Amino acid sequence: MPDAIFADPRLARIYDAFDAPRDDLNLYLEIAAEVGASSVLDVGCGTGSLAVLLAASGRAVVGVDPALASLEIARAKDSRVTWIHGDATALPALSFDLATMTGNVAQVFLGDDWEAAIRGVRDALRPGGHFVFETRRPERRAWEDWARAKPRVLVGVREQLDLLGVSLPFVSFRHTYRFPDGSEISSESTLRFRSRAEISASLVRCGFEVVDVRDAPDRPGREFVFVARKRGSHA
């Protein structure tokens, strides 16, 4: 079940304000051009920020997300994108040039669901199609920054981030939003921090070859950006 930060309609409506600026998305547009992708599947598309940019560049785009509230925000942004309520394991028969996972999407899969998602992506790609996603480097210990985070107030809403627990590879935290009417909504989340070797091995097991592992220009030294290619055949 999606976290409240994505699934609660009131939180979905303010998500973009708190998530901006999306400097991370430029890299995905560059890689789409680099691999010559004319069709893109955005897995965990959320409120549609990347999908809309890809569609504006003339590409055929499908965005898929299990959080209906976020997807409704996305649908209102751009009718050129095909929006699907669901996840990577339940996609219709498709054949994309590129699949993407931005932000923390790759880290929300805590167990066997990670490789199930990878296989779903693989099946949605044409042979030789590419899969690009980012994930935080465990050694950079991002949760230490989260523990020091100060409250923010945007669009009249106060956001507080609290670190709940670190039991590697899992890190849990809570966002609490206080609205002008005094009401509060909290959203608890857990991310899994995987090593570069662990991620590479899972990609290979699921029918990919790792083409490149890059730095994230918007967060230098803090994230891995994996570029993988679907093998022509797989087990």
| Cβ atoms of residues 121 and 88 within 8 Å | yes
Q: What is the pLDDT of residue 2?
A: 82
Domains contained in the chain, number: 2
Question: 119 - beta bridge partners?
Answer: none
State whether 150 and 69 are in the same domain: no
With residues binned 3-state (H G I as helix, E B as strand, rest as coil), the percentages for the chain, rounded to 5, are: 35, 35, 35
Residues 181 and 204 in one domain: no
Q: What pairs with residue 135 in β-bridges?
A: 224
Task: Answer for the pair 120, 88: CB distance below 8 angstroms, yes or no.
Answer: yes
Instruction: Say if residue 33 is in the same domain as residue 148.
Output: no
Q: In CATH, what number is assigned to the domain containing residue 60?
A: 3.40.50.150
Domain match, 26 and 43 both: yes
Bridge partners for 223 per DSSP:
136
Name the one residue in this structure whose structure tokens are 């099946």: 123
223: nearest Cα among 196, 186, 201:
196
Q: Which domain holds residue 187?
A: 140-192
Domain shared by 116 and 197, yes or no = yes
Q: At 6, which helix (H) or strand (E)? A: helix 4-7
Q: Kindly state whether residue 235 falls inside one of the protein's structural domains.
A: no
Supply the DSSP string of 71-120, one letter for each residue: HHHHHHH-TTSEEEES-TTSPPS--EEEEEE-TTGGGS--STHHHHHHHH
Please report, in tens digits, the pLDDT of each residue of the chain (235 residues total). 788 788 899 999 999 999 988 989 999 999 999 999 999 999 999 999 999 999 999 999 999 999 999 999 999 999 999 999 999 888 877 899 999 999 999 999 999 999 999 999 999 999 999 999 999 999 999 999 999 999 999 999 999 999 999 999 999 999 999 999 999 999 999 999 999 999 999 999 999 999 999 999 988 999 999 999 999 744 3
Q: Has residue 76 been placed in a domain? A: yes
Cα-based distances in Å from 38 to 47, 50, 65, 99:
21, 15, 21, 11
Q: Indicate whether 113 and 34 sit together in one domain.
A: yes
Number of H helices, E strands in the chain: 8, 11
d(C-alpha 196, C-alpha 135), whole Å: 9
So what's the pLDDT on residue 234? 43
CA–CA distance from 102 to each of 44, 91, 148 (Å)?
8, 18, 24
